[in-house]
């Protein structure tokens, strides 16, 4: 049976142990400092910049959301670990998991992405039926969240094409706005097999932009062929 003095000594020792434990625990569970929050945000932004797959010549701006100042974090002894479920450039919000395995904490950080890419736009108002000249168009950086249709990424893809509608200054020219090969108009049909190439005249049976497949009628044989638009008023049939 413990004496009163022994009991007091035991409680004193236990209180010291509890006090030390609470002090030690508090080192790892205090609210994050401003510097720690900024480090977490930068880690999330860096993850998005490193992993999101951009379109050719695309530009990405990643901005982490503001975090609650009451979140718990520490100065992680090793680089923060980051991960996310998506690498697609088609989404404007990506959630990044930032964690410190050594100190056993993790935080989900929303990151907003702004992605833009160069697309062909009109330098001035254009009229239906016009042929597009080099001076009519330019490349402009267009934010993809505001534009999700299919445009042209190179000026050469559209110069010489005929406009199928009126275009305002600054508008992105879309594939349905022009025809490089135009329905019911004369075209050159180039038949290619290996190194052999033969050309003949024909009539386009459908509109087409550069690289698209169209039908055309051989004016000599009246045969209908499927070809790929390879130039202004030109299609190529591969055998």
Domain-embedded: residue 215: yes
| 136 and 105 together in one domain | no
Number of domains in the chain: 3
Alpha-carbon gap, residue 138 to 121, rounded angstroms: 6
Q: What per-residue confidence (pLDDT) applies to 173? A: 93
* Total-model pTM: 0.66
Q: What per-residue confidence (pLDDT) applies to 147? A: 65
| 48 and 108 together in one domain | yes
| 90 and 44 together in one domain | yes
Q: Which residue has the higher pLDDT, 210 or 48?
A: 48
Domain-embedded: residue 11: no
Domain boundary among 61, 80, 115: 115
Could you read off the pLDDT of 127-143 as tens digits, one per residue?
Answer: 999 999 999 999 999 98
Question: Does the pLDDT of residue 20 top 80, yes or no?
Answer: no
| 76 and 123 together in one domain | no
| 52 and 92 together in one domain | yes
Domain boundary among 115, 144, 167: 115
User: Which CATH number covers residue 202?
Assistant: 2.30.30.760
Q: What per-residue confidence (pLDDT) applies to 19? A: 35
Domain-embedded: residue 193: yes
Q: Which residues pair with 163 in a beta bridge?
A: 178
| 94 and 156 together in one domain | no
Residue 179: half-sphere exposure toward Cβ, Cα within 13 Å = 21
Could you read off the pLDDT of 171-215 as tens digits, one per residue?
Answer: 999 988 999 899 999 999 999 988 888 999 999 999 988 888 999
Q: Which domain holds residue 127?
A: 117-179
Q: What per-residue confidence (pLDDT) applies to 213? A: 92
Alpha-carbon gap, residue 69 to 157, rounded angstroms: 51
Question: Does the pLDDT of residue 98 top 90, yes or no?
Answer: yes
Q: What per-residue confidence (pLDDT) applies to 13? A: 45
Q: What per-residue confidence (pLDDT) applies to 211? A: 85
Domain-embedded: residue 137: yes
Domain boundary among 75, 92, 115: 115
| 110 and 38 together in one domain | yes
Could you read off the pLDDT of 71-94 as tens digits, one per residue?
Answer: 999 999 999 999 999 877 777 899
| 166 and 193 together in one domain | no
Q: What per-residue confidence (pLDDT) applies to 47? A: 97
Least confident of 8-12, 16-20, 39-43: 16-20
Could you read off the pLDDT of 52-64 as tens digits, one per residue?
Answer: 988 888 999 999 9
3-state secondary structure 142-208: EECCCCCCCECCCHHHCCCCEECCCECCCCECEHHHEECECCCCEEEEEEEECCEEEEEEEEECCCE
Domain-embedded: residue 5: no
Report the chain's mean pLDDT, rounded to a whole number: 85
| Residue 74 tokens, joined | 């520490």
- Decide: 74 and 36 in contact? Cβ < 8 Å: yes
Domain-embedded: residue 40: yes
Domain-embedded: residue 190: yes
Q: What per-residue confidence (pLDDT) applies to 234? A: 93
Domain-embedded: residue 89: yes
User: Which CATH number covers residue 141?
Assistant: 3.90.1210.10
């Amino acid at each position: 049976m413990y004496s009163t003095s022994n009991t007091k000594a035991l409680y004193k020792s236990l209180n010291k142990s509890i006090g030390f434990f609470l002090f030690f625990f508090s080192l790892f569970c205090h609210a994050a400092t401003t510097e720690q929050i900024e480090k977490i945000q930068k880690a999330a932004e860096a993850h998005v910049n490193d992993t999101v797959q951009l379109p050719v010549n695309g530009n990405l701006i990643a901005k982490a959301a503001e975090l609650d100042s009451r979140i718990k974090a520490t100065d992680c002894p090793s680089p923060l670990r980051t991960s996310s479920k998506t690498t697609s450039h088609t989404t404007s919000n990506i959630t990044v998991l930032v964690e410190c395995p050594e100190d056993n904490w993790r935080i989900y950080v929303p990151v907003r992405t702004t992605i833009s890419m160069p697309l062909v736009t009109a330098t001035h108002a254009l009229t239906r039926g016009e042929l597009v000249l080099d001076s009519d168009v330019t490349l402009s950086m267009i934010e993809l969240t505001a534009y999700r249709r299919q445009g042209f990424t190179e000026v050469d893809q559209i110069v010489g094409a005929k406009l199928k509608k009126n275009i305002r200054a600054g508008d992105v020219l879309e594939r349905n706005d022009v025809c490089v090969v135009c329905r019911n108009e004369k075209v050159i049909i180039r038949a290619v097999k290996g190194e052999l190439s033969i050309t003949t005249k024909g009539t386009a049976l459908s509109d087409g932009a550069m690289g698209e497949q169209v039908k055309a009628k051989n004016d000599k044989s009246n045969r209908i062929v499927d070809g790929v638009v390879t130039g202004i008023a030109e299609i190529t049939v591969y055998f």
